[in-house]
């Protein structure tokens, strides 16, 4: 199994790593038992994501997908950021080894978790938007025992 140069670059030189002290919203997904946790802080002004920072406990692709996700959503409106999918993240990194695709799911979940909290708190969740959060109910670890996997409950 080998990573693309882009994955390695984002792993070695992660973009937007850290925390936002006055974050508008933040989302944490994953579970230390499964071996990965992502925390995504967003600063939102007038429904535009002006800053995003992440912290990740996990493997190379977990760190690289977190880093890439922040690059993909900064400057976007919250609704535009909702269209971020794990496939987009993986493609932006020139692909991930199949066994590592779940890391990109985690990155998508982290962004959506933060946005869900934001929409609910601001009272602007619509049925249309709610549909986009379906992924939060899913376990990204296909080959885990789903009952014992609390990946998306964190």
Partner 1 sequence: MNITFEERMRESINRPRIYFDHAATTAPRAEVIDVVAKILREDFGNPSSFYNEGHRAARLLEDARTTIASCLDVLPEEIFFTSCGTESDNWAIKGAAYARQGKGRHLITTTIEHHAVLHSMEALEREGFEITYLDVDHRGMLDSEKVRDAIRDDTILVSVMMANNEIGTILPIKEIGAICREAGVLFHSDGVQALGAIPVHPQELNTDMMSFSGHKLYAPKGIGLMYKRKGARINSLIDGGAQEKRQRGGTENVAYSAALAKALEMSLADMEHESRRQMVLRDRLIRGVIERIPHTKLNGHATERLPNNANFSFEFIEGESILLFLDKLGYACSSGSACTSASLDPSHVLLAIGLPAEIAHGSLRVTLGIDTTDEDIDSFLFDLPLVIERLRNMSPLYSDYRRGKLQPLIPEEGSLDLKIDGSYGWPS
Residues annotated as catalytic are 34, 103
Angle between helices 60-73 and 101-122 (to 10 degrees): 40
Report the residue from 6, 9, 17, 136 that binds partner 1 according to the rule CB under 8 A: 17
**Candidate ranges 34-42, 43-51, 78-86, 126-134; the one touching partner 1 (CB under 8 A):** 34-42
Least separation in angstroms between CB 147 and partner 1: 14
Task: Measure the CA–CA gap between 58 and 69, rounded to whole angstroms.
Answer: 15
Which residues inside 77-106 make contact with partner 1, applying CB under 8 A? 99-100, 102
Task: Measure the CA–CA gap between 16 and 50, rounded to whole angstroms.
Answer: 12
108 sits near partner 1 (criterion: CB under 8 A): no
32 sits near partner 1 (criterion: CB under 8 A): yes
Neighbours of 55 (CB within 10 A): 16
Report the residue from 10, 24, 37, 101 that binds partner 1 according to the rule CB under 8 A: 37
H or E element that contains 149 = none
Q: Which two tokens stand for residue 70?
A: 């922040």
Task: Measure the CA–CA gap between 61 and 101, rounded to whole angstroms.
Answer: 9
Report the residue from 6, 15, 129, 144 that binds partner 1 according to the rule CB under 8 A: 144
27 sits near partner 1 (criterion: CB under 8 A): no
Report the residue from 31, 65, 78, 109 that binds partner 1 according to the rule CB under 8 A: 31
Contacts of 106 (CB under 8 A, 6+ apart): 29, 30, 36, 38, 58, 62, 65, 140, 151
Q: How far is CA 137 from the centre of its chain?
A: 14
Report the residue from 19, 83, 91, 94 that binds partner 1 according to the rule CB under 8 A: 19
Q: Which residues in this chain contact partner 1 in the complex, by CB under 8 A?
A: 3, 8, 11-12, 14, 17, 19, 28, 31-39, 55-63, 99-100, 102, 141, 143-144, 150, 153-154
């Amino acid at each position: 199994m080998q990573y693309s140069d882009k994955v390695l670059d984002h792993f070695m030189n992660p973009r937007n790593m850290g925390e936002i002290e006055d974050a508008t919203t933040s989302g944490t997904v994953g579970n230390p038992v499964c071996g990965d946790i992502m925390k995504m802080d967003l600063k939102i002004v007038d429904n535009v994501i002006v800053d995003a920072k992440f912290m990740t406990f996990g493997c190379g692709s977990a760190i690289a997908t977190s880093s890439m996700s922040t690059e993909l959503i900064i400057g976007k409106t919250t609704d535009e950021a909702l269209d971020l999918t794990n496939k987009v993240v993986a493609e932006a990194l020139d692909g991930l080894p199949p066994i590592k695709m779940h890391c990109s799911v985690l990155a998508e979940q982290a962004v959506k978790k933060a946005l869900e909290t934001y929409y609910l708190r601001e009272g602007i969740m619509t049925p249309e938007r709610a549909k986009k959060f379906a992924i939060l109910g899913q376990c990204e670890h296909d080959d885990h025992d789903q009952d014992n996997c609390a990946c998306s409950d964190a």
